[in-house]
Amino acid sequence: QKEVEQNSGPLSVPEGAIASLNCTYSDRVSQSFFWYRQYSGKSPELIMSIYSNGDKEDGRFTAQLNKASQYVSLLIRDSQPSDSATYLCAVNNRGNQFYFGTGTSLTVIP
């Protein structure tokens, strides 16, 4: 079983819609959760971090964490073509190692 799993997609949404990205993790004691965005050929850049159960909002982005279900998600409201990228979920396992999912490819259609 992989430490972090994501649907690889591709996920396509029309401009202005809500994009929903999902991630599950295997280690119950994981403490820190991150969403990175990666454009093709570029390095990952952090867009959201979340550490406690519930929702965390930052502009058009909302991260949701449910530790009981070992599930973390990212919602992108009012999706724009510039949001088209691969989104990586990452989990920090007890502060020692990061584990990344394989990423979900998102395409926002104008």
The candidate with the shortest Cα–Cα distance to 21, out of 89, 86, 74, 81, is: 74
Q: Using the rule CB under 8 A, is 52 a contact of another protein?
A: no
Which of residues 19 and 44 has its CB atom nearest to another protein in the complex? 44
Residue partners of 84: CB distance under 8 A and separation at least 6: 106, 107, 108
Q: Which of residues 2-21 bind another protein (CB under 8 A)?
A: 8
Q: Using the rule CB under 8 A, is 42 a contact of another protein?
A: yes
Segment near another protein (CB under 8 A), from 10-18, 41-49, 56-64, 72-80? 41-49
How is the chain split among helix, strand and coil, in percent rounded to 5? 5, 55, 40
Where along the sequence are the contacts to another protein (CB under 8 A)? 8, 32, 34, 41-46, 49, 88, 90, 92, 95-98, 100-103
